[in-house]
Structure 1
Amino acid sequence: MKYDIFTIVFFLLLSVFGFSQDSLRTVLAEPGDGILSLLRKQGIDPYEVFDEFVSLNHHDLRDSVHLIAGRAYVMPHMKVDTVAIVDSLQIQAKEVKEIERESYAIFGEKYKTVIAKSERLKGTVYYLVSGHGGPDPGAMGMYAGKAIAEDEYAYDITLRLAKELMAHGAKVYIIIQDENDGIRDERVLEIDRDEVAYPDKKIPLNQLARLKQRVAIINDLYKDNKGKYQRLIVTHVDSRSENQNIDVFFYHHKHSKNGERLAESIHKTFGAKYKKYQPNRTYSGTFEDRTSLYLVKKTHPAMAYIEIGNIRNKKDQVRIVDPDNRQALAKWISEGVLLDYEEE
């Protein structure tokens, strides 16, 4: 029986993709495992399959992202970059196109590679600002007997968000940068003072001078990108009484309809995630105008200003010190951004 070249390639592809779909591999979680570490142990890039893992295992996760030791978890399928064609078949077929990827040192050696997921945000520009930095660590708390600082956790979440947006084709400007701190998976992030403002400006000690510097950088970039779809996202961690447990809040300029829609879209996404993954917990975060905030008032792009939680509250600390939670926060924000852009 004769087979043409396309029939042979079809069966080869089927053998690679199709036969492996019938059963999914499971792995037992060990004490101390998180989603990121469990996937990494299996040789899987956790940032590429995080959502799929949560969707496959949400009934066996505590608070939507925490593993339970001793429980079996379903592993997502590995993505295949290329399909090898057996030489002996002497097929003159084109190799399946390799997945597009680029490297960015700012994410750190371990996570520098950004793999393209889609072009859903192609042509868009996002400015991401993590709160404080440089001489100002921001709000402070204590965790496991060690000091933790707002700027380190806001920066880590911002890097994760930047990577998500870039994977969907967005042009991203990370306004506060630290060349020594890429994406980090530690619970206690070391505090330093070496952050700079884009591209390499020293951050002033004076608070008003710092805010003015950021406004000037963003507004200058906004002019440079005139005519493009542009949005700004600012990320902070709040500081309140130790006993005050808060949810994630979103602020916008009272006269900016686009900013209001962006904040509402991310807020709506968080509400949907809580309903799906934490049905026994009501999401109490809100979105509202907060034009009194300097960055909200003075920057030109439509923007959302996000407060992640209370760094001094033990329950809220879990949200920021757990790297799985930081990744989930970044993913949820990015999904809200996609919702906002695609519903415009």
Structure 2
Amino acid sequence: MLFILCNGIHCAYGQDSLPTIVAQKGDGILSLLRKQGVNPHEAYDDFIALNMDNLRDSVHLYEGRSYKIPQLPMDTVAVVDSIQKQSTKIKEIKGKEYSIFGKKYALVLPKSECLKETVYYLVSGHGGPDPGAMAMYRGKSIAEDEYAYDITLRLARELIAHGAKVHIIIRDPDDGIRDDRILEIDRDEVNYPKETIPLNQVARLKQRVEAVNQLYLKNKGKYQRLIVTHVDSRSKGQNIDVFFYHHEKSKNGKKLAESIHKTFQAKYKKFQPNRTYSGTFGDRTSLYMVKKTHPAMAYIEIGNIRNKKDQRRILDPDNRQALAKWISEGILLDYEGE
């Protein structure tokens, strides 16, 4: 039987009967699940739950170890109709397709309705003619906007699965969610709905602020929040943790940033107990997006694209999925605390 809970769809398995697979060199959670014919984004949480004691930092496989593979139905879920009658009723779980996530991940199945009454605006940094921070990895250029966008798409998918209405402000017509380490750089991103992104920095920021604020007015009276995602650029030797900003006068913005920050603290404490998490949250109203947008917001810096340790956090698709998952859990924590 499968049981529907508020915080997601969780499966009750006979764990001994589940298939197992030995991780090979180079395998990640997403690639391992895909090779087994399982949708990696639908089975990701259940894989983590089944194999928690056999993962490094909660997201990395150990080469040569065996892992249980969850078997998830893609379109139906059995629920208990009546314990007295000892019968089950089949309830169809209808997903919805979003082409922006790419062909592989277009279908989003519901996990809960916890965010049903909410509206979220997601903005990934830079885009269009401006790639943002740049670095080299194995002889190839990598750019901030591609990785911030990929994490943003993954976050959007998580929030939609929990019932939220999500507006993705910076959009790419053909990238979708990508599971590559090196994300090819292009210049075809547009600003919601389909506006060409200007090269001038002030014009670019003003354009996305206006898009968010216009949508905010249309949704007046609803619960609305904004998440802005960037990848920082500092000296190569500076390894930084994920940190968060909010508007100094926004009580709700502070609460949102703090909730996500607390979630990251808890994750690091659980999965990396010997490592001190130094990421912080605080106000930084000098930032244009923080200062000018209407919704309560959290501005997130994922890491230093030029630092080798931070590059592992950014380039590994499993890490990008974990980042999106942790941010979404912080957002759920924030909303549940209302």
Given the two structures, how large is their TM-score scaled by the length of structure 2? Answer: 0.91
Q: Which runs of 5+ in 2 are unaligned?
A: 2-10, 79-86
1:297 matched residue in structure 2: 291
- 2:74 and 2:181 map into 1 onto residues whose CA distance is 31
Matches within 5 A, 1:127-276: 127-276=121-270
- 1:51 and 1:83 map into 2 onto residues whose CA distance is 17
Q: Which runs of 5+ in 1 are unaligned?
A: 1-9, 11-16, 85-92
C-alpha displacement of 1:296? 0.2
1:211-268 per-residue CA deviation (whole Å, 9 max, x = no partner) reads 1111111100000000000000000000000000000000000000000000000000
- 2:45 and 2:265 map into 1 onto residues whose CA distance is 16
Q: Secondary structure at the match of 2:230?
A: strand
Instruction: Tell me if the contact between 1:58 and 1:277 (Cα under 8 Å) persists in the aligned partners.
Output: no
C-alpha displacement of 1:83? 7.5
Matches within 5 A, 1:76-115: 76-79=70-73, 81-82=75-76, 96-115=90-109
- 1:82 and 1:175 map into 2 onto residues whose CA distance is 32
1:3 matched residue in structure 2: none
1:60 matched residue in structure 2: 54
Higher mean C-alpha displacement, 109-118 vs 18-27: 18-27
Instruction: Tell me if the contact between 2:75 and 2:94 (Cα under 8 Å) persists in the aligned partners.
Output: no
1:36 matched residue in structure 2: 30
The residue identity in structure 2 corresponding to 1:121 is L
Match of 1:120 among 93, 107, 114: 114
The residue identity in structure 1 corresponding to 2:35 is K
- 2:308 and 2:53 map into 1 onto residues whose CA distance is 25
Higher mean C-alpha displacement, 139-148 vs 66-75: 66-75
The residue identity in structure 2 corresponding to 1:29 is A
Which structure has more helix as a fraction of its residues? Answer: 1
* Backbone CA RMSD of aligned residues: 1.8
Runs (4+) off by over 6 Å: none
C-alpha displacement of 1:41? 1.3
Matches within 5 A, 1:323-342: 323-342=317-336
- 1:142 and 1:108 map into 2 onto residues whose CA distance is 26
1:13 matched residue in structure 2: none
C-alpha displacement of 1:48? 1.6
Instruction: Tell me if the contact between 1:211 and 1:295 (Cα under 8 Å) persists in the aligned partners.
Output: yes
Instruction: Tell me if the contact between 1:252 and 1:259 (Cα under 8 Å) persists in the aligned partners.
Output: yes
Identity of aligned residues (%): 74
- 1:134 and 1:101 map into 2 onto residues whose CA distance is 31
Which structure has more strand as a fraction of its residues? Answer: 2
Q: How has the CA–CA distance of structure 1 residues 140 and 29 changed in structure 2, closer, same or farther, with 3 Å as cutoff?
A: same
Match of 1:49 among 36, 43, 46: 43
- 1:152 and 1:132 map into 2 onto residues whose CA distance is 9
The residue identity in structure 2 corresponding to 1:78 is L
Instruction: Tell me if the contact between 1:82 and 1:95 (Cα under 8 Å) persists in the aligned partners.
Output: no
1:143-164 per-residue CA deviation (whole Å, 9 max, x = no partner) reads 1111000000000000000000
- 2:111 and 2:180 map into 1 onto residues whose CA distance is 26
1:192-221 per-residue CA deviation (whole Å, 9 max, x = no partner) reads 001000000010110000011111111000
Matches within 5 A, 1:17-36: 20-36=14-30
Match of 1:321 among 304, 315, 321: 315
- 2:132 and 2:139 map into 1 onto residues whose CA distance is 19
Q: Answer yes or no: is 1:73 the counterpart of 2:70.
A: no
- 2:264 and 2:67 map into 1 onto residues whose CA distance is 24
- 1:240 and 1:19 map into 2 onto residues whose CA distance is 46
The residue identity in structure 2 corresponding to 1:72 is S
- 1:18 and 1:128 map into 2 onto residues whose CA distance is 33
**Pair member with larger Rg:** 1
1:43-100 per-residue CA deviation (whole Å, 9 max, x = no partner) reads 211112222222332332223211111111122242363489xxxxxxxx99612112
- 2:195 and 2:13 map into 1 onto residues whose CA distance is 54
Q: Secondary structure at the match of 1:68?
A: coil
How many matched pairs?
321
Q: Secondary structure at the match of 1:109?
A: coil
1:90 matched residue in structure 2: none
- 1:185 and 1:178 map into 2 onto residues whose CA distance is 16
